[in-house]
Structure 1
Amino acid sequence: MELESRNLFIDTQYLFSKGFNFESNEITSLIDLAAKGSIQVFMTDITNLEIVKKIKEQVQLAFFKINNSDSRILKSLPLYRKFLAVYSEEKSINALVSQYELFKTKCRITIISSGGIKFMQVFHDYVNEKPPFNSSSGKNRKAEFPDAFALATIKNWVKTNNTKAYLLSGDSDWQQFADNRHFFHLNELTAFIDILIRHEASLQDMTSFADQLIGIKKDKIEKHILQALKNRTYIGFASKREVEIQEHYIIAAQLSEKDILSVGRDGAIYQMQFLVTAVFKYWMLNFIFHGEERLFKGLEQEIVFLKHEFTISVDMTFSFKDAIPGSFKIVRDQAPATIEVAFEDGQALSLDDWALTLPVIVCGVSSGKLTENGTGSQHFHSFDEAVKVFPDLDIYHAGKRFTRALGNKISDDLRFETWKANDLYSS
């Protein structure tokens, strides 16, 4: 992406999608770039009022859910009552609005007035179904008037100043409006910040060094994220059935994209995209219906294994003091604590096929032979490799010499034990 302009207009939708978190890495970086004069940030007065209104609505909704959902049982806990006393609805609104006002000040945001926009100018777009009145997403066209006035304000400002601008919004209406030579649409901020940093002459050497280090340390970064993802919680969801992820095995996490968010002589922060390959063991509850009238017949439980590929974004902080490659450290990763997985996106996988890809440990053996006292072990890259040495290994059934794969678990190893080893570990 080329840098087309240093003017950026922010829409309500963007801050709402980020949970009004004004301390995220991308917002912090935006503030830093704006303070240096690398970018000019704008809002319309309509957007400014909408953001305050949205903050109030979301806080009120959150407290409504606290008071009317199962979480109200927590009010019996003293610390929870103390939390609600400190962060009451009014105080929470004031705190978030104050953070928003501070963000505007730090980011040097210029508020553009919509006072010069005439109603008939906007109404003409409404009649002719021009953006934002041409949405096919089922929106009420009359509800788009605030966006229409905001976009008309931006259009007039760009024309008056004979310039161009980026529009930051995930709203499809803003994207359609930006589809001309004066405007450039941004769904996310990170890629734009990356371009800005790379166009700063004072940062180019440090950015180049950081990029080279990331390339050299790619394997280390991927291994770090792989381990981090093994310790995360995974929640499965499906559209037509009830599912639950019982076990997970993260096979790989490959770095696919990276955007630099900040850089200095001692370190850098990147937002990185990882392509994750994983296998999940699902407990599944099926609702069984009979005949054309779909009469309810009963419930059926099932265990299935599915292979998934999905992408996650992780902000990662690195240090490399005095620009010495050997000092490279991963300071922090912000991989999500909970990851949702769509059941329908998985690929069916039999346990036999899955086992062929798993490393295997056989306990109670040494150099291809059983030991007398049950000690010793051998590792194999896969089950297929292990049965070449010990042909009587069986995933599902115990044999005369070996247990079955213990627990039938998804783990880093399929584990088999000789009976003497089994007695040893049991005791």
Structure 2
Amino acid sequence: MKARRLPILIIGIVVVAVLVVLALRLMPSGPREKPAPVTAASAPAANGASSAAALSPASQIIVKGEYLARAGDCVACHTEPNNPPFAGGRAMATPFGSLFVPNITPDDETGIGQWTADDFYRMMHTGVSRDGNLLYPAMPFASYTKVTREDSDAIYAYLMSVTPVKRKNHPHELRFPFNKRELLIGWRALYFKEGEFQPDPKQSVQWNRGAYLVQGLGHCAMCHTAINALGGSSESKEFEGGMIPNQNWYAPSLTSNREAGLGNWPLQDIVDLLQVGVSHRATVYGPMAEVVYNSLQYMTDEDVQAMAVYLQALPQRDTEPPPSSQEHLVQPAVMENGRKIYQQQCVMCHAEDGKGHPPSFPPLAGNQSITMASPVNAIRMVLNGGYAPGTKKNPRPHGMPPFSHALDDEQAAAVVTYIRVAWGNTGTPVAPPQVNALRKLLPE
């Protein structure tokens, strides 16, 4: 009997360990602070921009690489606030310990100075480091595998051109068994599909360019796809939205016109939202504001428009009928309390009828981010406030003040409920415990 039980026991241990490791799928946590700007040449040249035409071939590759590194938002993770770009050291706190992002400057001892272009492409394409270690999926290699060899080589050339920084990498502080990289083989077997992006011959050149950027360097699905019980993402549910682990923001569905689906948006409003951070339809806050600040604002009009074309064409997967107004579910006293708070605190910017003063002050009436099933983002905006990103095309954005100090849980729930059901909005009421749960996450 013991001889039979041993293989079963071993299999059980391996399965449990693999399932635990799968939870590491998306481990970056907490709002990102704004990193120091990259100081190398800033003219984008991904599609042969004229600003790079006068440069030598080698310099053109470096400028192109910087542009692509911006598109991949590499600086956001690999730069610790108030430290040199790409020098690593940033701690990513997780429930299982901390990951420390590596130095990717061209320092020979502590960075990637001894890496070859082949080493770099292998890492991007397969998720395996130069030393043979499997990368944790907090590094979005599942998306970066789609990046072409040519673009990978350009990013490598750019990183090798930045100022080397001698800064020793901090080892990860993960508890057992999360510190056993070899167990990532199980996660990779389930959720990693290696392979460069293949254009769809049935689609336009513009659509394919947008698909390449969104699926690859942009790694948009990493946030906008729900994480399942095994810590992975189902390809069939790609872009259908979900909570961002450890950040407590909801990344809305891009395949539902009742959330962030863009099927009925004017194309220019999509372009403005991605590149400027504000449009006549909405404003970005939270993690998406950081993406616009670090990455999308630096992309060419042509590339952002291509992304917008691709996103607008995503197949809509709405299976439920449009909801009806939920105002009848709200107690009159709660509705009146919410209305009074709105009149006192919100009407100056968002207007009596909730239509706001776009693009500076976004509308609340008919705003999909207000009415979607999850109220998390609306609650967080009332508690935390926030600013749209400062961008080249919107250098002085208007902001929203926080109200966590001025409103208790009942008051905050009342005003969020009001804006979710007033003016024909189809959101559902919010309860004080939902506010309290998010309030506890605020920094002291």
Coarse TM-score class (shorter-chain normalised): under 0.3
TM-score under structure 2 length normalisation? 0.22
**Greater Cα radius of gyration, structure 1 or 2:** 1
User: Larger relative CO (CA 8 A, sep 6+): 1 or 2?
Assistant: 2
TM-score under structure 1 length normalisation? 0.23
